[in-house]
Structure 1
C-alpha cells in the first residue's frame, strides 16, 4: 500500500466487519463467501459463483450469521432480500476485499476453468443480436460457463438487477436508477417492414401510405410512450394498431401476405429472420435513434469474472454484421 492511511483503513475495515477485535478469530475466507451471497442474494447461485457445494455455502452463511449476530439474508414476498446490517456491509466488504487483493496480489481469473452461471435479462431482440455470436465465444473460451436468459419489461429488468436476480440487463434504459452501472453497446435506428406489393414497389414509403396501413406494435405493454408514437404525435399524427404483441421475431412473420406494416429496430430484421416476400423501407418521418445498453449493479463492477463476461458480451455484439443495417 502506498500510504499509511490506506493500511490503517484496510485493517480498520476488517475490524469493523467482525464482532471480535482479534483477527485470529476471523476466517477471512468467510468474507469471500459473504461477498458472493450478498451479491447473488441466493445460496445456490452463490455456490455456482464460488465453485463450492451448496451445503458448504449454507454452512458458511450460518457461521457468518453467528459472527454478525444478524440473519443477513431473509426471504420476503417470495424473494431474498438483504437485512439493514447486510446493506451496510456491502460497500465496506467491497473495499475490504479490494484491499486484501492488493496485499496478496491480483486475483487470478481463468475463463477456461471457470465454473459459473451468468443470467441476462433481455428481449428476444436482444437475444437475437447477442446470442448467435456470444455462445460460440463462450464454448471456445469458457466451456464450463452457462447462460440463463430471462424476458421482462424495463421495470422488471431494473428490479431483477437491484435484487441480484440477474447479472446483466440488455435493453433501452432512458433513466438509470441509483447503483446502476452501464455502457452503450450500439446505437440503433428504425426501419419499416411491409409485404412486397405494387404500392411500395418503388422503394419509397410516403407518410400517407404509412398512416393508411394498419400497424403491428411490438411492446411489453399496449400503452406507453414508445419512440415511434411519440415521434408521430409531435407531428400531429397517430397510427392505427391492428396487433400489439411482445415478440419481435413473431411480428416480422405476420407481415407477409397482409397490408400490415411493422416499424422495427433495424438490427432485428436480419438476426430474427423474415418469411415471405417482405421489403424493408425507410420510415417517411424522423424517428430518433436509441442506445442499446448493457447494465449491471455497481456492486459487481470489480468482480473479475463479471468484468470478463461484460467484455465478452461487448465483443459478441460488436461482431454482429453491420451490413444487416440499412
Structure 2
C-alpha cells in the first residue's frame, strides 16, 4: 500500500483515538463531532481492512494491527508537529513550560537542585510536575500530556528512550527503641513485625518481583525486598499493615508504631536527621534502584527537551555530591 492511497487526516484521527481510547474524547481534542470521528475511523478501517478498535468495558480496545501502527503513527505526528513549530531554544529567553511526571523521591531530592539551576540559566522557564500515573503511566507519555517520566523502569517500548539519573540504595528504618534494635536482625525477626510499604500504583496488579507492566513499559512499584522475598516457610506470613503512595509519608508512621519500612537512602537520611528513627542493618542485602527519565524517541530532536534532560542529569550529579 502506498502512502498516497491514505488520507493523512485519518491517521491523525487514529492517533487521537489510540491516545484517549474514546471516540468522544478524541472528538473533543479534534474539535469535531463524535460522528465525524466515527466516520473517519470507518474510512480508515475500509482502507486498511481491519477493525482497528472494538468497544470494551473501559473504552475503545485496539486490535493487533492498531497496536502495531500506534508507535510509527505517533512518531510521525510528533515529528511533523516539531517540524512545523521548530524554533531555536534559548534558555535565557525561553518562556516554555515543561511537564514532568514523577514521584516524591524526585520532588524531594532532585527538583530543588534543578530549580536552582533554572533560576540562573532559564529564569522564565516553568515546570509542571504531576504524579506518575497510578496505573496508566504509559499513556501519560504517549499522549504527550507530559514530556518526561521519571521513575524506576525495567523495560521500555521501542517508542521511548531512557537516560539514567542516579542509583539509589534502599534503607530499612524503625523507631527509636524498636525491639529489632536489640540483637541481630535476622530475616525471621524482621518479618515478625508489620511492614509499611510504598505501593506506587495503589493496586495489587504487579509481578512478584515488585514491577508492574503497562503494555511493555515495566516500572518498579515496590522496593520492599524483605516482604517480596519472604521464604514460604516463614510463619506467620509477613504482614503489610499499611501501604501508602508516597515515601515521605512513612517516617511519621514509623515514629508512632512498631512498623518497619524501606525508604530510598537519601530520603532515609533526611528522615533520620529529623530524629526519632534508627536505621537497621538488615539480614537481606537491600535493593539498589536506578532512577531514570523516559521520553519519546520522536522528541530526541527537540532542543528544549534535550537541554532540560542535560539540566536534570547535572542536578542529579549535584545530589551525589551531597552524599559524598
| TM-score interval, smaller chain | 0.5 to 0.7
Larger Rg: 1
1:1-326 to structure 2, matched below 5 A, reads: 88=73, 90-91=75-76, 94=79, 108-153=88-133, 155-197=135-177, 199-201=179-181, 205-220=185-200, 221-223=202-204, 224=206, 225=208, 226=210, 227=223, 228=225, 231-233=228-230, 237=234, 238-271=237-270, 275-321=274-320, 324=323
SS in 2 for 1:254: helix
Give the number of equivalent residue pairs.
257
> Aligned partners of 1:311, 1:255: CA distance in 2, in Å?
37
| Pairwise CA distance, 1:94 | 3.6
Q: 221-230 vs 114-123, which deviates more?
A: 221-230
8 Å CA contact 1:182, 1:296 repeated in 2:
yes
- The TM-score, its normalising length taken from structure 1, stands at 0.65
SS in 2 for 1:255: helix
| Pairwise CA distance, 1:236 | 5.2
- The TM-score, its normalising length taken from structure 2, stands at 0.65
> Aligned partners of 2:197, 2:129: CA distance in 1, in Å?
23
Q: 175-184 vs 232-241, which deviates more?
A: 232-241
> Aligned partners of 2:141, 2:279: CA distance in 1, in Å?
35
| Pairwise CA distance, 1:197 | 1.2
SS in 2 for 1:189: strand
8 Å CA contact 1:125, 1:272 repeated in 2:
no
The unaligned stretches of length 5 or more in structure 2 are 20-30, 32-39, 41-57, 60-68, 211-222
8 Å CA contact 2:195, 2:259 repeated in 1:
yes
Alpha carbon RMSD of aligned pairs, Å? 4.2
Residue in 1 that maps onto 2:66:
none
> Aligned partners of 1:182, 1:211: CA distance in 2, in Å?
35
Residue in 1 that maps onto 2:62:
none
> Aligned partners of 1:203, 1:318: CA distance in 2, in Å?
37
8 Å CA contact 1:129, 1:271 repeated in 2:
no
8 Å CA contact 2:178, 2:258 repeated in 1:
no
Sort the Cα spacing of 1:298 and 1:258 in 2 relative to 1 into closer, same or farther, 3 A. Answer: same
Sort the Cα spacing of 1:171 and 1:204 in 2 relative to 1 into closer, same or farther, 3 A. Answer: farther
